[in-house]
Amino acid sequence: MPDERLDIPADRLPRHVAVIMDGNGRWAEKQGLPRIEGHRAGAASVRKITEECVRLGIEQLTLYCLSSENWKRPAEELDFLMQLLNHYLVEERPRVMEHNIQVRWIGRREELPDDAVRGLDELVECSAGNTGPRVCLAINYGGRAELVDAARRIAEDVARGELDPAAIDEEAISSRLYTAGLPDPDLLIRTAGEMRVSNFLLWQISYAEIWVTDVCWPDFREQQFRAALRDYASRRRRFGGLPEKCNC
């Protein structure tokens, strides 16, 4: 059941919410703090929004944690991000199990440190039997890289004679993406006011509703998340056709 504070019918809530968690560095600079402190503060927002999704019955939350382009940042900041990730994977495991959350992660494994890959895989494995909401972490992720990797898999399958080129359709591509088997996002939230999708889930957000707030991620809390859900519930999704009837 949805939270009564929202006053939104269950069928008007998004099934899958994706978030571009932007503004950690800008938040820290405004506070007169090093950029890494913004990332530390942002981790608290991850916990709050994840718990809110559990309370509201949102089926999936996908978080853009580290893009493949973020490796251009200063080494000190990247080292801290990896330390923070490793700490999060250990610190959050009891909450993951308590809330019956199933964790997935998407992205290229190659550039990530071995201990980060091991920690991610262990959290995925230990939560695999959970039946509650799904949290998908996009780490070393890029939408274009995902499409390149999918194209390579298709080419390999064609070369082995396992796939007829004439049979390549949208499902053939979707089933070879990192997100195979997961629903496409209904709602894409971006914090810190930027009006771009930043190479995030390019295939999957084709018909997602987009909601942008000027609030930086470390200050993003339940109040802003509920505002996004209310706005989503007020929209009429067309999917290229006529608007559906809305009784809200």
- Supply the residues annotated as catalytic: 22, 70
d(CA 72, CA 66): 11
Q: Are 230 and 6 in contact (CB under 8 A)?
A: yes
- Expressed in angstroms, the distance from the first to the final Cα of the chain is 16
Q: What is the DSSP string of 60-115?
A: EEEEEEEEGGGGGS-HHHHHHHHHHHHHHHHHTHHHHHHTTPEEEEES-STTS-HH
d(CA 110, CA 15): 31
Q: State how far Cα 75 lies from the chain centre.
A: 24
Placement of tokens 């939270």 in the chain:
3
